[in-house]
A = this chain, B = another copy of it.
Amino acid sequence: MQQIAVEPDCWRRPRLVAAVEAAGAQVVAPDEATALVWADPQNPEAFPRLLHAQIDWVQLPYAGIDPFLHMLDNDRIWTCGKGVYAQPVAEAALGMVLAGFRHLAAYARETTWTAPVGQNLHGANVVILGGGGITEELVPLLVPFGCHVTVLRRTPNAFPGADSTRTLADLHRVLPGADAVFIALALTPETQHVISAPELALMKQSAWIVNVARGGHIDTSALISALRNESIGGAALDVTEPEPLPEGHPLWALPNCLITPHVANTPEMGLELLARRVTSNVERYLTGQDLLGPVDTRAGY
């Protein structure tokens, strides 16, 4: 019988144990297990260095699996939380672009009635970097605003709901027309600092950038310059480099920057969504179906 370990012991574990049991599997110690559900997205040092040969499947908790990259192997199937968290993250991304366009962060800091400023999302030109789960959830939220949506992805296959689909090689061609730029990419060596000084220089003076992916996608120093010079409208960042952003970091003080502490998907929101994915995947595992969220161990996501 296939038995599943849920490790390490942490606040997420009880809910994930319940999720495994809800699928009809038994939760056992790692030694006896044929599969491992890993409950902690943050502490890779707790992860077993060597997985014994009987473990033919590992479920990682988050969509971003950068801390575990060095452990990936081809001796078993690896799955992650990709696609699970996309809905709350897309919702947060929409809230962040509206907060930017409507200067909500600046207004929130006021203690007096100030002058009217703001721009409309209705009819805006939106560029989304990445064609994954977040973009799948974000595009439908933009549809009722009549936005013109350009998706930049690895392959230029038409993205459902987008007005235009191109590859990242076209980034410099689409940036000058963008009112809002969303980063919803995986972080890889190719996408590290995908937004740096040359990209910021191409953006409209009114354009906002929204990052709900990884801090490393943006060159922070270049962004600080652009925000200080007001060469772009502003930035709404749920992720930063460094992260957590230290006290006293210049980004905190910029009036055209909204920072949220990596909460597009809070742990509480996320655990519930992950638990549902774990139940589905355990059911699939028990019945020999393809698992959801497989990691491409070569690509690293």
Residues of A within 8 A of B (CB): 87-88, 91-92, 94-96, 98-99, 101-122, 140-141, 143-145, 243-248, 252-253, 258-263, 266-269
Contact of A98 among B87, B95, B101 (CB under 8 A): B95
A112 x B247 contact (CB < 8 A): yes
B113 x A261 contact (CB < 8 A): yes
B118 x A263 contact (CB < 8 A): yes
Contact of A263 among B102, B108, B259, B269 (CB under 8 A): B102
Contact of A245 among B94, B113, B143, B269 (CB under 8 A): B113
Contacts A98-B98, A116-B267 known; A111 to B261 CB distance under 8 Å? no
Can you pick out 12 interface pairs between chain A and chain B where the beta carbons lie within 8 Å of each other?
A91-B98, A91-B122, A92-B102, A95-B101, A103-B260, A103-B263, A104-B105, A108-B258, A110-B261, A116-B261, A116-B262, A116-B267
Contact of A107 among B118, B143, B244, B258 (CB under 8 A): B258
A95 x B91 contact (CB < 8 A): no
A96: chain B residues at CB < 8 Å are 104
A259 x B107 contact (CB < 8 A): yes
Least CB distance, A135 to chain B, in whole angstroms = 14
CA distance A235 to B294 in the complex (A): 42
A117 x B247 contact (CB < 8 A): no
CA distance A248 to B108 in the complex (A): 15
